[in-house]
Chains A and B, each alone.
Chain A
């Protein structure tokens, strides 16, 4: 076992991990942050997307030790400091960007990474950026609308 330390949602944390411990295991099982989901465990679905030093990463496809010393943000770190929903989360709610909600943590984290890189993306850019995030429920349209709205751009009525 090896000791790892990192900053998760602004809080310094540490714990013992094996070489093979995935970052998502460390987050969910050691830290109890179960907002990050594991949909496929084969690097395909994107439900496990978090930010490592500000970049979108599939937490099922990186070892905990590789994140030693890193700044991590998970879905638990997305709400406003007073606990109210952040603009992206609020837009997912307002535009029905989720149904079962299983993909939503990864969708929100990918959306946040996109808007950090590109504050006013086109619909095509949003769809391309979400190519690694699968949703079995919504058909994606409302997710795209939510992200357009969160970016402050007009959203066409249904």
Chain B
């Protein structure tokens, strides 16, 4: 690791001020950033930990809206987001217990790993990402592999989820990393269905509009018969071909729907 200073502010104001320093970077749970620093893939002058700021951590239900602070660890969402069971289950399936005790929703979304779980929940739910300067709809937030709409110095403060009538996430775990080799988040709202696919596309998480249309017409696993993703543009690596991943995305989507009917 290159050398840097580490700040642990306890207020959001102090964190935002510290992040104004040149080449300063926020630190969430460090479960992605610390391995990246070890490989010298990043060289911040200063890391500003968000973990000690009480306002950024916690889960709040108001009516049909569940709000999660950016620095809330996955384990807390798994244990306390019972108002949105599919989201709690997704958080409880990320990595392993030690990763879940440190990793945060804000870090996961800012990182936008093409195989990560939370981006599928956020896009599949039509959640809103609230930053220190604006609110960003999920449809406008994810901009391709490891890319998001966040500007320099902009940090995620919280994420607002509309709680659907029913939802389910199904992932085919990569057996070593436990990231999604393919994952599908299906959410059913009055009059609409959203389907978000992760782990599959070179563009990162995306909405599968044909599946959404088919399921909006009739919500049943066999409504997806004949609906498939083309292998073009899908991730191809030693763990699976692009055709395999495209197929697996369909299987995960059908399994999610089957679990909901």
Contacts and interface: CB of A to CB of B under 8 A. Distances in A.
B101 A55 contact: yes
Nearest to A55: B101
Categorize the interface residue count of chain A.
20 to 34
Given A66-B8, A66-B49, A68-B8, A61 B35 contact: yes
B3 interface: yes
A49 interface: yes
B102 interface: yes
Interface residues of B, number: 28
Nearest to A48: B98
Given A19-B3, A57-B98, A110-B98, 20 more contacts: A2-B6, A19-B4, A19-B5, A19-B6, A19-B46, A19-B47, A20-B3, A43-B99, A55-B101, A56-B98, A57-B102, A58-B98, A61-B30, A61-B98, A61-B102, A66-B6, A66-B30, A66-B49, A66-B51, A129-B97
B96 interface: yes
B1 interface: yes
B101 A131 contact: no
Contacts of B51: 66
Interface string B105-141: 0000000000000000000000000000000000000
Interface string B1-28: 1111110100000000000000000000
Interface string B37-60: 110000000110101000000000
B31 A43 contact: yes
Secondary structure type dominating chain A contacts: mixed
Name the 3 nearest CB pairs between A and B, nearest first: A132-B96, A19-B6, A20-B1
Contacts of B102: 57-58, 61-62
Contact of A63 (B6, B75, B95, B97): B6
B34 interface: yes
A46 B75 CA distance: 17
A73 interface: no
Given A42-B38, A58-B99, A65 B31 contact: no
16 contacts: A19-B47, A43-B31, A44-B176, A46-B96, A52-B101, A55-B75, A55-B101, A61-B35, A62-B102, A66-B49, A66-B51, A110-B98, A129-B96, A131-B95, A132-B95, A133-B96
Interface string A53-80: 0011110111101101000000000000
A113 interface: yes
A42 B8 contact: no
Interface of B: 1-6, 8, 30-31, 34-35, 37-38, 46-47, 49, 51, 75, 95-99, 101-102, 176-178
Contact of A43 (B1, B2, B34): B34
A37 to B, nearest CB: 14
Nearest to B101: A55
Interface in A106-141: 110, 113-114, 129, 131-133
A30 to B, nearest CB: 16
Nearest to A60: B34
Contact of A41 (B38, B49, B96, B176): B38
A41 B38 CA distance: 8
Contacts of A129: 96-97
Nearest to A68: B8
Contacts of B99: 43, 58, 132
B98 A42 contact: no
B172 to A, nearest CB: 15
B8 A46 contact: no
B96 A62 contact: no
A65 B97 contact: no
A46 B101 CA distance: 13
Nearest to B34: A61
